[in-house]
Amino acid sequence: MHTKYLNAKTIWTGLFCLFLSIHSWAQTNPVILVLGDSLSAEYGLPRNSGWVNLMDAQLKKENSPWTIFNASISGETSSGGAARIPALLQQKKPGIVIIELGANDALRGLPLSETEGNLKKIIRMAKQSGAKVLLLGMQIPPNYGQEYTSKFRALYSTLAKDEKIEFLPFFLQGVAERADLFQADRIHPNVEAQSIMFKNVWGAMAPYQHLLKQANR
């Protein structure tokens, strides 16, 4: 009887230590969630050559405990992102959420109010989960009409200001004006452009750099 008690105690002690180990791992490996479209999903690029992977490599280089989960899907719209974000927040429990959506809305000519509403929903759900947010601003060519183009650009800065989140004014700064940095479709950036896109996002992450050196968010 005494031996059985000791065995049971040993088993429970081992399970408790395993729980603590798993719990500690979860705490010391916080997640950056990237919610985007083809610009972040390596469309037309060699695997692991996109800007998200470059950021992951930078985190590893700096011995950061943070990891990246890239939930980007080619063709994704703001409504698709809004539909997917609840499950992603619950499953991944990110400490930081990077939002790169809206370009496909504009390409489809969707109402700006719809895009703004969806992005606001994503931002607020991320904030309510306790995550920090970085919104990547997008712009579209002037051939969509001056009014639509200017209002589309402005909705990102307005959201960032109203929701009090970090903001990158133009994700493709330094890329959009150079034809040699695009694939044959003239829509998707090529491999050479990825380092510029990464630097744009990494620079916008400056307010969170202190967090990236910590295990807990």
Dig out the tokens for 39 from the structure.
């610009």
- Distance (Å) of CA 202 to CA 97, 147, 172, 195, 207: 13, 31, 13, 10, 10
| C-alpha count within 13 angstroms, C-beta hemisphere, residue 106 | 24
Nearest Cα residue to 156 out of 206, 122, 199, 196: 122
Q: Which of 2, 180, 185, 210 is catalytic?
A: 185
Q: The dihedral of CA 118, 120, 121, 126: what is its sign?
A: positive
Q: Which of 38, 72, 79, 129 is catalytic?
A: 38
Q: In 10 A of CB 10, how many CB atoms?
A: 10
Tell me, yes or no, if 38 is annotated catalytic. yes
What backbone phi and psi angles, to 5 degrees, belong to 68?
Answer: -115, 135
Tell me, yes or no, if 188 is annotated catalytic. yes
Q: Which of 64, 113, 150, 188 is catalytic?
A: 188
Tell me, yes or no, if 150 is annotated catalytic. no
SS (H, E, C) 132-201: EEEEECCCCCHHHCHHHHHHHHHHHHHHHHHHCCEEECCCCCCCCCCHHHECCCCCCECHHHHHHHHHHH
Dig out the tokens for 189 from the structure.
């950036």
Nearest Cα residue to 139 out of 163, 107, 162: 107
What whole-number distance in Å separates Cα of residue 99 and Cα of residue 35?
5
The catalytic site residues sit at: 38, 185, 188
